[in-house]
Amino acid sequence: MIAIPFIILLTLFAYHKGNIIRKHNIKFYIGATVLSVIAFLLRYKMPITEPFNQGFLGLSFLYIVMITGALKNKSVLYKKLMSVRREYSIIGFIFITPHALKYLVEFLNDSRSFEWFGVIPYVIMIPLFITSFMIVRKKFTYKSWKKLQNFAYIAYILIFIHLIIVAEFPNLIIFIVLFVPYIILKLIKEVKKLKNQ
């Protein structure tokens, strides 16, 4: 399952070159958009577009965004990933869009059933994506922005359900290995947070 190598490479890049991502974030957004458009247009012609149209690349970015919130706040890895979490969430949404559009086109062509657990999290992520840009975020108070961003947890759960439903072995096992530790770590972190209040 090619999401695993992507997750490892993107984590290493964030850890060692996070400053480049932050400094040139607009260039990364434009590049991701161009690649996504090309991949969607060539979705049935070139196998190289599969990581985009099957959602593996977008999922990899979003997984790092997700798992970061479950890590210990004082850990070095948390600090490194947190420094690019906003950028990775924006890029992840851009890269997951060809996958969403591909499914939509196939549904409209009656070649695929409607994937509710895939569509709903994508729709939830639209306002999260828009409000991740600083120009929009500045229009919100931190409290209201944070409440909106908390809907990401609903999206994560629905994505997990979607992957479990559509995945076949061995991808099914890999998704479980990826998501179950996140759920456990996040629950432990939230329980500790409640105890310290």
pTM of the model: 0.92
Largest interatomic CA distance in the chain:
55
What does the pLDDT look like over 4-42, one tens digit per residue?
899 999 999 999 999 999 999 999 999 999 999 999 999
What's the pLDDT score for residue 190? 87
Contact 68, 82 (CB under 8 A): yes
Q: How many CB atoms lie within 10 A of CB 135?
A: 6
Tell me how far apart the alpha carbons of residues 194 and 97 are, in angstroms, rounded to a whole number.
Answer: 36
What does the pLDDT look like over 67-94, one tens digit per residue?
999 999 889 999 999 999 999 999 999 9
Tell me how far apart the alpha carbons of residues 116 and 127 are, in angstroms, rounded to a whole number.
Answer: 18
What is the three-class DSSP state of 35?
helix
What does the pLDDT look like over 96-154, one tens digit per residue?
999 999 988 988 888 778 888 889 999 999 999 999 999 999 999 999 999 999 999 99
Tokens 């190289």, residue?
48
Is residue 185 pLDDT above 70, yes or no? Answer: yes
Under the banding of pLDDT at 50, 70 and 90, the label for residue 168 is: confident
What's the pLDDT score for residue 92? 96
Is residue 1 pLDDT above 70, yes or no? Answer: no
Q: Which amino acid is at 35?
A: L
Tell me how far apart the alpha carbons of residues 147 and 150 are, in angstroms, rounded to a whole number.
Answer: 5
Tell me how far apart the alpha carbons of residues 165 and 96 are, in angstroms, rounded to a whole number.
Answer: 18
Give me the mean pLDDT over the 179-187 stretch. 91
- Residue ranges covered by each domain of the chain: 3-195
Number of H helices, E strands in the chain: 11, 0
